[in-house]
Chains A and B, each alone.
Chain A
Amino acid sequence: MGRTVVGDESQLDAQVDSIFRSGCSVQVGLLVGKLGTGSSRDLVFALVPTPQKDGEEAASLGPGDPKGPKDAGSKKGNKGKPAPDGVPIHISTDWVAEHARQVSRMLLGGIHVVGIYIFSSEGSFKSSLATLWKAVTAVAAVVQSANEGDASEYLLLHIASSPRRLSCRSCPGNASFSATTLRPCDWRTGKILNNLQEFSCSYTVDIRYPVVVDQPTKKLESLRKYLYSAIADEAKRLQTAQAIVDGSLAQSDSVLGAGSPVHEVEFIQPLGGRGVPGSICNGMKSKGKVLFKGDLHARAYGIVREPLSRAVADLKGDIVASLKSRLELLVDEAEEAEEDARMQEQDADYSPPPETLLSSQLSLDVKEHSFAMPKRVLVPWLEGAMICDYMLPDEKLWDVQERCMDLFGMEQTMEITSVIEPEILGVVPEVILSVPAQTIQIPRGNALSANVDLKTKESMAVKKEIPSFIYSFLFAFAALTLVIAILFSRFYTQKE
C-alpha cells in the first residue's frame, strides 16, 4: 500500500449517487484532482463522465472491440467459465483519451486529470484489467504531453455496483501490463474542496521570437513550429520569474496556511533574461519574427499545507498551458478548414483559402499577418474551484455553456451570468485589416461537441432560439437597477 488517495467526500458521494440513479450498468469517466508530490497524498476532487460518441456510450459490456479485451477474455476463459457478472468491459480508449485532452485544456493550474474511474460490477472489473490499464495509460500519455507533467503514476478508481464500494489502484505510466502493474492504493474520503486556495494573476506577454532558417534558400514550411517554440521559450523564461504573493515576495519554504483562500500574485522577471533562444546563432538567415503581445489572466489552485512554491509553479504552468491551448485551438480550427477545403477541391469554382500563419504548408512566404488569440473565460464548477474555456471572436457564452455541459457533464441549470470574463479580445493591428477577411475566418465548433448526442443538441437548440438581445436587455436592466440603487444610497447617506 504505497499511495494514499483521498477523494472529496461530499462531491464524490453525490456523483456516485447520481451514477446509481442513472441505472446504467457500466460507466467510464475521468478523475480530476491533484497528484501528490513526494510523500503527500493524491487528491481526487470530482468525477467527470465521458460523453457519448455518436450516440454510443464510451464504455459498454461485452466484447465490442475485437482487438483489446479479447486476449484478456480468452485468458480468463482458460481458467474456466467466467462468472455470470464477469462480462468484460469494452472501452473506447481513443475517445476517453480525447475527452481527457479537451478536459485538460479547460482545467486551471494545479488541477489535472489524474486518472479514470469505472463503474461496473466486481466481476466485470476483474476480467477487464488489461483494457482499463490501456485506458489509463492512454489518458496519462495525453495529460502528460499537455502539462509536461512530472507525475508518472495515474489512478484507476473502481466504483463497484453491488455492493457499493470504491477502491483505487495506481498505474505507472510507462510500465508494460502485467498482473501486478495496477497496485492497490489506500482509498479514503475527506473534506478537500473547502481547503482549496486560489492564486490568480494577470501576466503580460511580450514575446519576440525570431523566425530563422539555417540556409538562405530554404523556405519556411509552416510557422506553427515557430509559434510553439516561441511559447516554449517563454515557458523557459518564466522559470526565472519570482512571484510576489499578496504584496510580499514568495519565500521558498512557505506553506499554504488556512488564512484567506484568495491570493493575488504578481510576477517579476530579471531584466536581461530575455536573451535570444539557444537555437539561434550568428549568421542564420532571418525570415522575420513572430510577436505575441497582450495580457492573460491565469489562475491556479493550491491546497492547504502545500508548499507555496508548488502553487507558484502551478500558476506559471497555467500561463504556459493557456498560451498553448489557445494556439492549439486555432491550429485545430485551421486544420479543419484545410480538410474542408480539400473536400471542396472538386468544385469548379473552388479557390484555395489564403495561407495564414497557421497553415500546415506554405507555398510562398507569408506576408505580414496577425490574429487575435481566443479570450479566456472562467466558469464556476465545484465548490471553490472554476474551470476555464476559450472563446473565439464570434462565439457566444452559449458555446461555452454547451462545451461545459458536454465535457464536464454540467447540469443545464448552469447560470450563464456566472461566467467570468477577465479578458477582452485583442484588437488585430490596423495594417492587417486590409487583408481579405477570410484569412482569419475559420469555421467554428469543437471536434468533440460537434459529435454530441442528438438529444442534447435538440434541447440546446430550443434554448438557443431565445434571442440574445433579450439577454442583453435583461443584463442592461439589472445594471441599471444597480446604478439607481447606488445613486439612491448615496443620496440618502449624503442627506444624513
Chain B
Amino acid sequence: MRSMLGQSAASAKSVDVISGISVDASGNVEYHLYQPGEPPNIELLEINKNSNDFDATVWRNLSLLYCQMEFNVPLYLSATPNASDYTAQLVDAVEHIMGDLKSSRVVLLAKGSSAKALKQGVVLIQPFNQLKVQRETAQGISGDTRKEGVQQSSLCSDLSQPPSFFTTSSGVQLPEPVELTIMLQQSSNANGKVTAPVVQFVPAAENATTVQILKLSMAVVCMGGSQMPLVDAATDLILPALRDQLAAMKRVAMKNTAHKAEVCSYQFCPPGWLHPVTAIYDLSHGETELALVEERKNLHRRLGLTLDRPLLRTANAVCLKNIEAVASRTSGTKRLTDVHVGLINSGVSGGRQSLVQGSYEYYHYLQDRIDDNGWGCAYRSLQTIVSWFRLQHYTTLPVPSHEEIQQTLVDIEDKEPSFVGSKEWIGAIEISFVLDKLLGVSCKILNVSSGAEMPSYCRQLALHFETQGTPVMIGGGVLAYTLLGVDYNELTGDSSFLILDPHYTKGEDLKAIKSGGWVGWKKAVSQTGQPFFLQNKFYNLLCPQRPNTV
C-alpha cells in the first residue's frame, strides 16, 4: 500500500488509489479511496457487493481493448550453440521491435465488434500526427448528437455501443473487445524528393550461418473507460502494455537454452475471475514439458486455482480476436454434444445418479463419410472419449480418425502394418493403448466375466463417475458401448446404466436418437425380461483416469 502511494505520488500524474483492507477475522474488507493532494484525501467507500449483475454493471462503463501481433525474426546462429550470440541477436531483434513501437510512424486502426460499430467502419488513430483521431465513415455519422465545433474524437465506447457480450467457457460474460492493430507509416512525409533505393548484399558472418526463427506472438488486453478517447487508450494503455509484454517476452526467450524460443501470450478467464488474465509461455518444447508444467502450477497457485484441473493450458485460452472469435462461436461443431441431457426416467426409485462430468460429442456409425457399419463401434466410442478430453481442455489434439487410430496401434507395434485401412475390430485394450499414446491418459480396466454380474459393479462405476467423471467404454464379447453414468440404489440394489450407443446410423437428429433409445437408461435386465448385458458373454469396462495435472 505504502509503495503504491509512493509510486503514485512520485509520478507526475495524480492517480486515485483504492485500497482494500481486511478488518476483522470474518474476512470483511473495507475499501478506502486515496486521492493525492495537499492534504491527501482518504475516504471510506461504500461497496455494493450484493449486486447481482456485477459483470454487466462493470462492463457497461468499461471497454475491453485487444491488440495482437506476431513477429518471426530470423536469427543467424553458429552451428554450435553460443549463448552470447543468441542473446545479442535476441536483444537486437527486440530492440528493433521496441523502436518501431516507440516510433512516431505508429498509427493504429481500431475496429469494433458490435453490428453498429462495424457499420461505422474502422477508426484511424494517429497518435503522433497532430494528436487527433479521425473517424472514418462510409456515409457519415448519422444520429451523432455531439456538439459541432468541438474537435470530434472517437471514444472507446463509440466502437462498443451497444455492448455485446459473449460467455467464456468458465461462464464469465465479457464484452466483445475493440480490436486495435498497430500499423507503421510506409510513406516518408517529406514533401521534397525521395532517395531511390540502394540494394546491398551483406554476406553472413562466419559464425552466423544457421537460420533460427525467433517467434514472438504478442497479445495484450486492456480495459479503458468508455469515455476515454481512443487516442489516449492507444498511447496510455495499448502501447505501454505492448512494450511491457515485449520486455517480458525477451526475458522468457533469454531463458531458452536451446535458442529456439517460441514465445506466445494467451488470455485466460479462469473460474472465479471476472476479467481475463494474460500468461506468457515458451512453447518451443510443447505444453507438457516439465518446466512449463511447473510454471503453470505456480500460476495456478498465484491465482488461487485448483491444482488438479488444467485451467491455463493453451486450450483454455479465450479467443479475443474478433473474426476468429465470431467464427468459432457461430460455426461450432456439427456433432451433437451431451445428448443424454434431458432424459427423464432411469426407472430406479430412490437411486443416486452418478454421471459423466463435463461435455462430450456423440460419435456414431457413418459419420465423416466413413462406412464403418458393423465394425467401427469401438472406434466411435474411443472418439467420444477423446472428444471429452478435448472439451475438458486436456488436449488440443484433434479427435483421431479410424485410420489414425489404426496407425497409432501400428506405431506402437501392437498391430501389423496391414492393419491400417482394414475393417478389423478393436477392443478395450487397444483403446487404452491409443489413449495412452495420444493423450498420455492411463486407464483402469474392470473385467466382468458375465453380463449377469454387471449390476454388482455399479458401486465401483458410481465411484468412477464421481471421482474421475470420464466416459467409460464397454467392450468385450459383443458390441461396444459408451457408458455415461449409473443410477444405483444402495439399499435395494436396483440399478440402471446410461448407455450411449455408437451403432446409430441416421442423421444428427436429437429427437430420433432419444426416441430410438440410442442414448438412454438401460437396466441389466429389462422389464420384459430381455437382458441388456448377455449372460454368456464377458465384458471389459475401460475407465479412463482423469489426469491429475494443470
Interface residues of A (CB under 8 A from B): 201-205, 210-212, 216, 223, 227, 241-242, 244, 247-249, 251, 253-254, 265-272, 274-276, 280-297, 323, 326-327, 357, 365-376, 421-429, 432
Are A427 and B198 touching (Cβ within 8 A)? yes
Question: Which are the 7 A-B pairs with shortest beta-carbon distances?
Answer: A294-B197, A295-B194, A272-B69, A370-B200, A426-B198, A268-B183, A288-B203
Contacts of B209 in A (CB 8 A): 216, 285-287
Query: Whole-angstrom distance from the CB of A54 to the nearest CB of chain B?
Result: 34
CA distance A434 to B510 in the complex (A): 80
Residue B182, interface by CB 8 Å: yes
Are B199 and A227 touching (Cβ within 8 A)? yes
Among B101, B136, B196, chain A packs the most CB atoms within 10 A around the CB of B196
Are A295 and B200 touching (Cβ within 8 A)? no
Residue B34, interface by CB 8 Å: no
Are B188 and A295 touching (Cβ within 8 A)? yes
Are A282 and B187 touching (Cβ within 8 A)? no
Binds A, one of B165-173, B210-218, B412-420: B210-218
Residue B76, interface by CB 8 Å: yes
Among A244, A365, A370, chain B packs the most CB atoms within 10 A around the CB of A244
Contacts of A265 in B (CB 8 A): 187
Are A357 and B201 touching (Cβ within 8 A)? yes
Query: Whole-angstrom distance from the CB of A292 to the nearest CB of chain B?
Result: 5
Are B188 and A202 touching (Cβ within 8 A)? yes
Q: Which residue of A lies closest to B134 (CB)?
A: A248
CA distance A429 to B201 in the complex (A): 11
14 contacts between A and B (CB under 8 A): A249-B122, A269-B183, A271-B69, A271-B101, A275-B71, A282-B211, A295-B195, A296-B196, A326-B197, A370-B199, A372-B197, A424-B195, A426-B197, A429-B200
Are A295 and B211 touching (Cβ within 8 A)? no
Residue B72, interface by CB 8 Å: yes
Contacts of A423 in B (CB 8 A): 193-196
Residue B528, interface by CB 8 Å: no
Query: Whole-angstrom distance from the CB of A322 to the nearest CB of chain B?
Result: 10
Query: Whole-angstrom distance from the CB of B340 to the nearest CB of chain A?
Result: 46
Given A286-B208, A294-B194: A204 touches B188 (CB 8 Å cut-off): yes
Are A276 and B213 touching (Cβ within 8 A)? yes
Are A202 and B187 touching (Cβ within 8 A)? yes
Partner of B193, one of A211, A366, A424: A424
Are A373 and B196 touching (Cβ within 8 A)? yes
Are A376 and B196 touching (Cβ within 8 A)? yes
Q: Which residue of B lies closest to A371 (CB)?
A: B199
Are B198 and A285 touching (Cβ within 8 A)? no
Residue B336, interface by CB 8 Å: no
Q: Which residue of A lies closest to B181 (CB)?
A: A270
Partner of A288, one of B72, B122, B202: B202
Interface residues of B in 36-89 (CB under 8 A from A): 69-74, 76
Query: Whole-angstrom distance from the CB of B111 to the nearest CB of chain A?
Result: 11
CA distance A292 to B195 in the complex (A): 12
Interface residues of B in 93-139 (CB under 8 A from A): 97, 100-101, 106-107, 109, 121-122, 124, 134, 136, 138
Partner of A253, one of B71, B72, B138: B138
Given A272-B70, A272-B71, A276-B213: A289 touches B202 (CB 8 Å cut-off): yes
Given A267-B187, A286-B208: A205 touches B197 (CB 8 Å cut-off): yes
